Amino acid sequence: MINSKEVLETIHMIQDQHLDIRTITMGISLLDCADPDIEKSCDKVYAKITRLARDLVKTGVDIEKEYGIPIINKRISVTPISVLVAASGGDPVLYAKTLDRAAKTVGVNFIGGYSALVQKGFTAGDRALIESIPRALKETEHVCSSVNIGSTKAGINMDAVAWMGDIIRQCAEETADQNCFGAAKLVVFCNAVDDNPFMAGAFHGVGEGDVVLNVGVSGPGVVRAAVAGAPEDADLTQIAEIIKKTAFKITRMGQLVGTVASERLGVPFGIVDLSLAPTPAIGDSVAHILEEIGLESCGGYGTTAALAMLNDAVKKGGVMASSRVGGLSGAFIPVSEDAGMISAVREGSLGLEKLEAMTAVCSVGLDMIVIPGDTPSEVIAGIIADEAAIGMVNSKTTAVRVIPAIGKREGEELEFGGLFGTGPVMSVNTFSPSKFIKRGGQIPAPLQSLKN
Amino acid sequence: MRAVITVTGKDTVGILARVSTMCAKYQANVIEVSQTVLQDMFAMIMMVDIDQINCELHELVDIMRTEGEKNGLVIQVMHEDLFNSMHRI
């Protein structure tokens, strides 16, 4: 029998420490929707999504109510649309509009998969899709886009890197009147995963089943509170142990919600993504966990080590708690979405270079970072190349989601609102990598042996 | 199936009676009750069997919440599995 201490602990986590299920994301394969006629193809896409995800939002809301645990987002990920474009030709934006319409019909807030995987080269479909991304993100509300430009097995497609530098700028320019939000809906990956439930980088990999339900948990506030409750003289072994136990409890929520939702929807349960996903709410910050462990401010020396420990402990606790783990699984460090990161940037303690180092030890990459509006595309491409190299060499996923704040400079801020928060414009090293980027070609895949 | 009902608020006469009457009305069988009054704050945790309830669980959640609001109390109904999954392997 559950005792009152346990009941109160759970309720306390939900009410005061922001414990929630961040997302339940239904992955839908659109491979069977491919058609040489783009209009027919779009019709099939719309029909399939609205049929399978019809009850997704309602089921989420019901579970939320019955179990008393908030499920913040209900979302959909689909097969990379470049595959459908390859079969149908035509204007890829038609697909984006179809996805947008389907998202509105079923009531999800984002749909991911306006994507292309080009780590080793481009198909005609990939080229058409990438070129259309700025327009697609401008003309739709709910669609998210991602492009995988590198992997440990294939190396880095530097032509794609150069191109994406330009595409990110265009996305920001096209949506300059909406706080450059287009760029916030686009992620550039190295080693992208097939079963990520988190936006903007979610897509349904071609190796996945027809339909699947993935869950992303959250709970930086709970971990921070647990660390805060540790004895003042607790050593790091004990702190890691506390984080592990807390991550276990958080993940069990995800496992429960995923199991119940997949049963009710009649859809196989995919994975639980063990990520600590912060929100701009006070008390729901990854940076504040690091500070609770003992740093004056996130970004100072010691940050990378503390984050490495946190990330590893979260995974160890989470793996025990769930039968199937996947996705990105790690601590996220999206600057604009994390109250502690925002203040660390404002105070000058956290810069782009330190964030880059942090991405080497955690999931996932340079995320929700606002850069000056006049940052040249080659510099953005240079940022992507560096981040991709970290992912490629360390066999991990890395990503870049930077938002050039058109018309703004360092010291100013970009206000997105809601879960996307506020981004201070960060200083960027603008010494030009232009010649390097313009060379194009492929950075060969790294050696995976002779590691001494 | 069982659910956990938690009630918190300022202590007044008849809270336990009011909540149990609601449980009886919707055929939720009370299995266990623990309650404390700290200074003038009332806190109660109730375990109820919901196999025979005559409405949907999510409806009961709303009914109890509204009843609580009317009387200056916070009443939450949550499925027991939430606690089992978090605290039991």
* DSSP structure string for A104-135: HHHT-SEEEEEEEE-SS---HHHHHHHHHHHH
Task: Look at residue A15 in the predicted model and tell me its pLDDT.
Answer: 83
Residues A417 and A420: their CA atoms lie apart, in Å, by: 6
* Domains: count for chain B: 1
A166 exposure class (CB count in 10 Å sphere: 0-12, 13-18, 19+)? middle
Phi, psi of A114 (to 5 degrees): -80, 75
Pairing of strands A71-78, A21-28: parallel
> Could you say which of B34, B62, B87 has the minimum Cβ distance to residue A6?
B87
Residues A80 and A96: their CA atoms lie apart, in Å, by: 11
Helices (H) and strands (E) in chain B, counts: 3, 4
| Max CA separation in chain A (angstroms) | 67
Tell if the CB–CB gap between B78 and A256 is shorter than 8 Å.
no
User: Which site among B41, B62, B82 would you substitute to test the A interface, given the most A Cβ atoms closer than 10 Å to its Cβ?
Assistant: B82
Tell if the CB–CB gap between A249 and B86 is shorter than 8 Å.
yes
Residue B65 touches chain A, beta carbons under 8 Å: no
Which residues 6+ apart lie within 8 Å of A129 measured at CB? A81, A82, A85, A92, A114, A115, A116
| Binned average pLDDT, 10 residues per bin, chain A of 452 residues | 82 85 94 96 97 95 91 95 95 97 96 96 96 97 97 96 97 94 96 92 93 91 92 94 93 92 94 88 90 95 96 92 86 91 94 95 90 96 97 94 94 87 93 96 91 71
Task: Look at residue A329 in the predicted model and tell me its pLDDT.
Answer: 85
Task: Look at residue A442 in the predicted model and tell me its pLDDT.
Answer: 97
Q: For residue B4, list chain A residues with Cβ-Cβ distance below 8 A.
A: 2, 7
Question: Tell me, what's the ipTM?
Answer: 0.84
Count Cβ atoms below 10 Å from residue A282 Cβ, excluding itself. Answer: 11
Tell if the CB–CB gap between B85 and A62 is shorter than 8 Å.
no
> Average pLDDT in the B2-23 region?
91
pLDDT tens-place string over residues A255-306: 999 999 999 999 999 999 888 888 888 888 999 999 999 999 999 999 999 9
Query: CA of B64 to nearest chain A CA: how many angstroms apart?
Result: 12
Residue B52 touches chain A, beta carbons under 8 Å: no
Task: Look at residue B36 in the predicted model and tell me its pLDDT.
Answer: 85
> Could you say which of A1, A9, A62 has the minimum Cβ distance to residue B58?
A62
Domain locations in chain A as residue ranges = 22-190
> Could you say which of A7, A65, A66 has the minimum Cβ distance to residue B83?
A7
Task: Look at residue A110 in the predicted model and tell me its pLDDT.
Answer: 95
CATH number, domain of B41, equals 3.30.70.260
> What CATH number has the domain spanning A22-190?
3.20.70.20
* Domain around B68: 2-87
